[in-house]
Amino acid sequence: MPAHALLPAVNRLLQQVEEVSGLPVAVAQQADLGTLATVRPATEGYQAHLIAYRDADEASSYHVAFEAALLLRIVQVPPEQRVNLTEKREAREKVVAQVEKMFKGSIGLAQARQAGLRFYDGLMLQLRSTGPGLWADRWLFEQLPELRGLQAAVLQGQVQQNVPCLNAEVDKMSPAAVVKASRAMNAAYAFQAAELVGIPPLAIPYQAAGFEALARELIALTRAEPTTADPDREIIDGWAEKLGLSRWYVWKTP
């Protein structure tokens, strides 16, 4: 679906990002993308923002709008204050060591190390994206009501896709700290999605698993009034504190 086929509300949002940032926003399909959509803010070497999406279907309008909402937050942070969440070697190696211990004798050390790295990297990606993502979903619900039909389908699909993480078998194959934090973030996503689409049963699996209180605390952090110029960093740091992940990463300038 080329950019001109995006829903009018999405094109208006893209125009808003361009007006705020003073730079153009390019939208392109990328069939081999590992996720449904992604955003790459402009750099000194490339003076345009890029939003890429994977599937040329109707839902792509929502995926592009979601990335545009995140981009709108990013471009409002002063350039000199922008930072990236970066891995912390000690935390990464601790996860790797736990995985090596779990699978000792059943798989080789090289395989165990790769698995540990995937657990660590996956959790950091989830931490970096889920909290700001909850803010973006809620902002789109409030600001672009024309997208609510697509949004409902996307949110319900993602919640259903995440539910298997509650399977007891996952505990036997994953480091406990990683599983607990990941489930809590999925729970926050499920509880907010249930509220936005008006389907409370979406959150029942996480409620039954005992995650409601923590999930609601995480959601509240995404709704708090920012106290700094980088509200996404505030959300991520707040989530990390609640999840026991504050020492798992560092912030670095690009």
CATH of the domain at 46: 3.30.2010
Is residue 78 exposed (0-12), middle (13-18) or buried (19+ Cβ within 10 Å)?
exposed
3-state secondary structure of 224: coil
Mean pLDDT of the chain: 95
How many CB atoms are closer than 10 A to CB 164? Answer: 10
Inside any domain, residue 86: no
Q: Are residues 35 and 142 in the same domain?
A: no
In degrees and rounded to multiples of 5, residue 42 shows phi and psi of -60, 150
3-state secondary structure of 78: coil
Helix (H) / strand (E) element for 245: namely none
pLDDT at 221: 98
Q: Are residues 56 and 154 in the same domain?
A: no
Q: Are residues 136 and 202 in the same domain?
A: yes
CB 27 within 8 A of CB 81: no
For the record, the structure tokens of 104 come out as: 């000792």
Q: Are residues 119 and 44 in the same domain?
A: no
In the predicted model, is pLDDT for residue 236 greater than 60? Answer: yes
User: 105 falls in which pLDDT band (50, 70, 90)?
Assistant: confident
pLDDT tens for each residue of 17-64: 999 999 999 999 999 999 999 999 999 899 999 999 999 999 999 999
In the predicted model, is pLDDT for residue 4 greater than 50? Answer: no
Q: Are residues 124 and 228 in the same domain?
A: yes
The angle at the Cα of 128, spanning 239 to 98, to the nearest 5 degrees, equals: 80
Last residue of a domain, one of 76, 106, 127: 76
In the predicted model, is pLDDT for residue 201 greater than 80? Answer: yes
Inside any domain, residue 84: no
pLDDT tens for each residue of 143-174: 999 999 999 999 999 999 999 999 999 999 99
Residue carrying the six token digits 């893209």? 14
Q: Are residues 60 and 148 in the same domain?
A: no
Determine the straight-line distance between the first and last CA of the chain, rounded to whole angstroms. 32
Q: Are residues 178 and 218 in the same domain?
A: yes
Last residue of a domain, one of 42, 76, 110: 76
One-letter amino acid at 204 equals: I
Report which of 13, 60, 7 is spatially closest to residue 36, judged by C-alpha positions: 60
User: 223 falls in which pLDDT band (50, 70, 90)?
Assistant: very high
Inside any domain, residue 115: yes
pLDDT at 3: 46
In the predicted model, is pLDDT for residue 181 greater than 50? Answer: yes
Report which of 125, 124, 127, 15 is spatially closest to residue 65, judged by C-alpha positions: 15
Give the domain range for residue 241: 93-247
Inside any domain, residue 252: no
Helix (H) / strand (E) element for 49: namely strand 49-53
How many structural domains does the chain have?
2
Helices assigned H by DSSP within the chain:
8-21, 60-75, 89-102, 109-143, 148-162, 168-173, 176-197, 204-208, 212-223, 231-243
| β-bridge partners, 39 | 51
Mean pLDDT along residues 164-191? 96
Percentage of the chain with pLDDT > 70? Answer: 98
Residues 6 or more apart whose Cβ sits within 8 Å of residue 110: none
